[in-house]
């Protein structure tokens, strides 16, 4: 299956990321379409958004997305329309829900944990007794050396 996907991606006649004939006349609408298609994954490629992908299906998705926008969908509605048909898989920005909450919380949680450990370490180091203190015997020896 993966091989088929790769072949689809690379061996189709050189279609090309966004084509001139796809571009919408309304620059505001087009800008929205570009921003949205940047966050949508080409379903048959390896880690490419439909905005940069050369695959035929990405072209279809780009055109579909623009049709929805022209029909008056909001950004959220247009995205939902595509997710309903292709699944969460096409969202390059995973939704903050279900198991993905853990993904989004990973950074803050880890930062708090690491920050806490660092705080305790620094506190411990700053209150630890200084080991540089020489013992009495060492001090006497040092004095002897310095005197001589």
Phi and psi dihedrals of 108, rounded to 5? -60, -40
Q: How far is the CB of 126 from another protein (least distance, A)?
A: 5
Tell me the site size for another protein, rule CB under 8 A.
51
Among residues 32, 49, 50, 78, the one that binds another protein under rule CB under 8 A: 49
Summarize the chain as % helix, strand, coil (round to 5). 65, 5, 35
Q: How far is the CB of 8 from another protein (least distance, A)?
A: 13
Q: Which is nearer to another protein, 99 or 146 (CB)?
A: 99
Q: Is 65 exposed, middle or buried (0-12, 13-18, 19+ CB in 10 A)?
A: buried
Give the whole-angstrom CA distance, residue 1 versus residue 7. Answer: 10
- Letters for 102-141 (x = contact with another protein by CB under 8 A, - = none) are -xx-xx--xx--xx--x--xxx-xx-xxxxx---------
């Amino acid at each position: 299956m993966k091989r088929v996907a790769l072949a689809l991606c690379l061996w189709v006649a050189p279609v090309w990321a966004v084509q001139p004939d796809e571009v919408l006349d309304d620059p505001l609408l087009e800008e929205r379409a570009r921003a949205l298609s940047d966050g949508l994954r080409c379903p048959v490629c390896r880690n490419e958004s439909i905005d940069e992908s050369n695959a035929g299906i990405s072209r279809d998705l780009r055109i579909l997305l623009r049709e929805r926008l022209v029909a008056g969908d909001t950004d959220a509605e247009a995205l939902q329309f595509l997710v309903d048909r292709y699944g969460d898989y096409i969202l390059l920005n995973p939704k903050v829900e279900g198991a993905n909450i853990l993904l989004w919380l990973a950074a803050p949680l880890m930062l708090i944990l690491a920050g806490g450990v660092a705080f305790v370490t620094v506190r411990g180091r700053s209150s630890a007794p200084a080991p540089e203190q020489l013992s009495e015997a060492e001090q006497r020896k040092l004095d002897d050396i310095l005197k001589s």
